[in-house]
Structure 1
Amino acid sequence: MHGTIDPAEETRQDAAKGLAYSTPLEQFNPGDPELFRTDSFWPYFDRLRKEAPVHYCKESMFGPYWSVTKYNDIMDIETNHAVFSSASSLGGITIRDVAPDLRRESFIAMDQPRHSAQRKTVAPMFTPTHLDQLAINIRKRSAECLDNLPKNDVFDWVDQVSVELTTQMLAVLFDFPWEDRRKLTRWSDIATTIPGPAGLVPTEEARQIELLECAAYFSELWKERIAQPPKHDLLSMMAHSEATRDMDPKNFLGNLILLIVGGNDTTRNTLSGSIYALNKNPDQYRKLRENPELIDSFVPEVIRWQTPLAHMRRTALEDIEFRGKQIKKGDKVVMWYVSGNRDEEVIDRPYEFIIDRARPRTHISFGFGIHRCVGLRLAELQLKIIWEEILKRFGKIELVDEPKRVYSSFVKGYETLPVRIAG
């Protein structure tokens, strides 16, 4: 599964495989966040792709849901907007339903035509010309961050690099008060956590209190933007666009959370995943150090290998037969990107981490169709520049221990990743 596996890890993975293949398919619940926290979900999806690529889970902590696990089947769901809806009013885009009174629209959780109108508002942030300008800022901040890392001491890569650099970028995109930028990280984590003992907040009520603080903070910034001439930051773009300037409070907070999570979780977890992947595959790390020009194919390969968001969800608008299964109107349909990115029928040697793949962009980590990630080029640019700067400075960044993973079947990420920069 990975290039270098310690014996304890191998034993754990063998146990996970044994359990996955001895459990009856009708009892499968691949969305169990505990499987993701322990990184033991892989054999469940391997079996589903082979034996039940469209699978119904009757009961789970998220209620009943369908799983779609093969790459091309996911593509078909992604592009059939007439039948499979993203609308927040039906539950939105994650396996976890949101109570009707707490649902907040964002453009990713909207159907056409409103989706495109709101999405177009922020699209100018990600044009090639503007990305060229952002690149200068990314390189400067990456260099400062990397130059301040301790040598020969163990530190948490997630906190000191992945979180810090992505949060700095978010603060730039929003023109957000610099000294408060870690609030963006907190709000992103709060928005996606599962309340309870394993989550960041004990209850849904506690989550809502923090999200309303986010809304209040941004409302003040919004008032400032409206009073100022248009500027080139995401908040100003929305404040001065016809499609978004009159959003109701729930739509406003929904779009904020979307942009914060989209700009934070994906890049952050792929940056952490890149260190993990290279340490598990030392031959590829050596190849990258000896051939830095391979960064261009290394970046999309990391994004595929990591798959920072494990799934997206749709809701069926009508009864439909799909791959021989009867999906009913109102059913929840979960597209498992993390499984599609390991589909042997589409991707050659999908479990191998190969930084010079011939077609590294054959992956579904950013989604597909109208809901494809609006900031994907920026995510790739950040990773590319950060790794250019890493390779200039450090021979090797060593993984000291296994990471602590996020308790979530939506965000596939790392809470901690202990590393040491070899002197």
Structure 2
Amino acid sequence: MEDAALDVLPAEGLDVSDPAIFAQNLQGPIFERLRREDPVHYCSKSPYGPYWSVTRYKDIVEVDSNHGVFSSAGATSLDEVRAKGVGDDATPIGGFLNMDPPGHDTQRKIVTPALAPSNLVKFQDLIRARARGVLGTLPIGEEFDWAKTVSVELTMLMLATLLGFPSEGRLRLKRWSDIIAGVPGDGVVDSWEQRDQELKEMARTFLMLRDERRAQEPASDLISIMAHSPEGQALSDMEFASNVSLLIVGGNDTTRNSMSATVMSFHDNPEEWAKLKANPAMIDSAVSEIIRCHTPIMAQGRRATQDYELGGKTIRKGDKVMMWYISGNRKGSGKR
């Protein structure tokens, strides 16, 4: 695998979706090589079929912003089976993420008020109190699992609050997020049938909460907002559940991964930790830098709706295109 980053690029292209690349921490030199030599790179063979890898910032922005040529519909995940499920009755995931404008914009606006900075700032005292509470219980002089004890616990507490989900059941949110992001055989579920059964349980749970919220006065949690907004009321049961699945993953994976990446980054770079301690005013910029350096969403896909020239390559109608944010955020990617 290491040779893939150093030798001549194989004729069939590099499958940069190979989990072994990330398990061995080889993604850095591989993406650097692609940005330098073949920034719009075609892989003809992968477990998910052929696809293009777009690795430079300016090319990613071009694909990401051109909805007329590059469609999100059923294409945001490289593994489309994971997104759609198996069988006619499978529970789809991803909600408005898998839609193009104007439908995407209409459904996204349902949850925008709850996630706006003006609303989130209302939670800052609660977030600080919970952070102090979790950190205050950590053992001193003993090893512990930071991801499980801190990152997961804090994330689940706040995600349950934002959704309006019972706090005592918050680990169910983590379970559902892991199922949504996973496939059979990865240690979470054993079969597609089990995966779909648990996703249907998730859907039933949130549809019940939706119906409860509709019978109550509007509140500021996401379920209440979706239950009372005209656009949310127009959603089918399946659309509602699919959008909730997006909120669960979006609120879980990104936050908990960024928390863990923060600790790892400062452990690996103690001089940067010393600078931050000496000047806490740098916290805002430190958070942005952590998210750039350890991109919580590594990639998203699109499907070409027509032939298109990008980076000197011809992408054909129907081709799958993966935008590797984890590469576009790096030095040398042409980031502006």
Q: Same fold (TM over 0.5)?
A: yes
Q: Name 2:213's counterpart in structure 1.
A: 225
After TM superposition, the structure 1 stretch with the greater mean CA deviation from structure 2, 266-275 or 288-297, is 288-297
Q: Name 2:251's counterpart in structure 1.
A: 263
Q: State the Cα deviation string for residues 387-406 of structure 1 (Å, max 9, x = none).
A: xxxxxxxxxxxxxxxxxxxx
Corresponding residue SS for 1:181:
helix
1:52, distance to aligned residue in structure 2 (A):
0.9
The alignment status of 1:324 with 2:312, answered yes or no, reads: yes
Q: Name 1:149's counterpart in structure 2.
A: 138
Q: State the Cα deviation string for residues 191-248 of structure 1 (Å, max 9, x = none).
A: 011322x342222222212111111111111110111121111011111112121322
1:104, distance to aligned residue in structure 2 (A):
4.2
Q: Name 1:183's counterpart in structure 2.
A: 172
- In 2 relative to 1, CA 104–150 (structure 1 residues): closer, same or farther, beyond 3 Å? closer
| CA distance in 2: counterparts of 1:289 and 1:203, whole angstroms | 47
Q: Name 1:304's counterpart in structure 2.
A: 292
- C-alpha contact 1:104 1:250 (8 A) present in aligned 2: no
Match among 45, 53, 59 for residue 67 of structure 1: 53
Corresponding residue SS for 1:67:
strand
Q: State the Cα deviation string for residues 83-139 of structure 1 (Å, max 9, x = none).
A: 11111xxx2311111347444461121111111111111111123332221111111
Residue type of the partner of 2:62?
D
Match among 50, 55, 76 for residue 93 of structure 1: 76
| CA distance in 1: counterparts of 2:310 and 2:165, whole angstroms | 45
1:319, distance to aligned residue in structure 2 (A):
1.7
Match among 11, 31, 42 for residue 56 of structure 1: 42
The alignment status of 1:161 with 2:144, answered yes or no, reads: no
The alignment status of 1:110 with 2:99, answered yes or no, reads: yes
1:345, distance to aligned residue in structure 2 (A):
4.7
- C-alpha contact 1:201 1:207 (8 A) present in aligned 2: yes
The alignment status of 1:337 with 2:325, answered yes or no, reads: yes
The alignment status of 1:36 with 2:19, answered yes or no, reads: no
- C-alpha contact 2:177 2:245 (8 A) present in aligned 1: yes
Corresponding residue SS for 2:120:
helix
The alignment status of 1:204 with 2:187, answered yes or no, reads: no
When the two structures are superposed, what TM-score results if normalisation uses the length of structure 2? 0.93
- C-alpha contact 1:105 1:251 (8 A) present in aligned 2: no
Return structure 1 stretches of 4+ with deviation > 3 angstroms. 99-105
| CA distance in 1: counterparts of 2:207 and 2:115, whole angstroms | 24
Corresponding residue SS for 2:309:
strand
Residue type of the partner of 2:216?
Q
After TM superposition, the structure 1 stretch with the greater mean CA deviation from structure 2, 100-109 or 269-278, is 100-109
1:180, distance to aligned residue in structure 2 (A):
0.5
Residue type of the partner of 1:325?
K
- C-alpha contact 2:75 2:320 (8 A) present in aligned 1: no
Pairwise CA RMSD of aligned residues?
1.7
| CA distance in 2: counterparts of 1:209 and 1:61, whole angstroms | 25
| CA distance in 1: counterparts of 2:247 and 2:273, whole angstroms | 32
Match among 105, 109, 124 for residue 120 of structure 1: 109
Corresponding residue SS for 2:303:
strand
- C-alpha contact 1:313 1:332 (8 A) present in aligned 2: yes
Structure-to-structure mapping, 1:279-298, within 5 angstroms: 279-298=267-286
Aligned-residue sequence identity (percent) comes to 46
Q: State the Cα deviation string for residues 139-198 of structure 1 (Å, max 9, x = none).
A: 1111111111111110000011000001101100011111100100111111011322x3
Match among 174, 177, 180 for residue 163 of structure 2: 174
- C-alpha contact 1:70 1:343 (8 A) present in aligned 2: no
Where do 5+ consecutive residues of structure 1 fail to align?
1-14, 348-361, 363-423
| CA distance in 1: counterparts of 2:94 and 2:127, whole angstroms | 30
| CA distance in 1: counterparts of 2:75 and 2:308, whole angstroms | 19
The alignment status of 1:21 with 2:17, answered yes or no, reads: no
Corresponding residue SS for 2:296:
coil
Corresponding residue SS for 2:287:
helix
Where do 5+ consecutive residues of structure 2 fail to align?
none
Q: Name 1:400's counterpart in structure 2.
A: none
- C-alpha contact 2:94 2:245 (8 A) present in aligned 1: no
Corresponding residue SS for 1:28:
coil
Match among 254, 258, 263 for residue 242 of structure 2: 254
- In 2 relative to 1, CA 251–104 (structure 1 residues): closer, same or farther, beyond 3 Å? farther
Structure-to-structure mapping, 1:127-146, within 5 angstroms: 127-146=116-135
Which of the two has greater helix per residue? 2
Corresponding residue SS for 1:300:
helix
| CA distance in 2: counterparts of 1:336 and 1:45, whole angstroms | 9
- In 2 relative to 1, CA 346–180 (structure 1 residues): closer, same or farther, beyond 3 Å? same
| CA distance in 1: counterparts of 2:19 and 2:260, whole angstroms | 19
- C-alpha contact 2:53 2:323 (8 A) present in aligned 1: yes
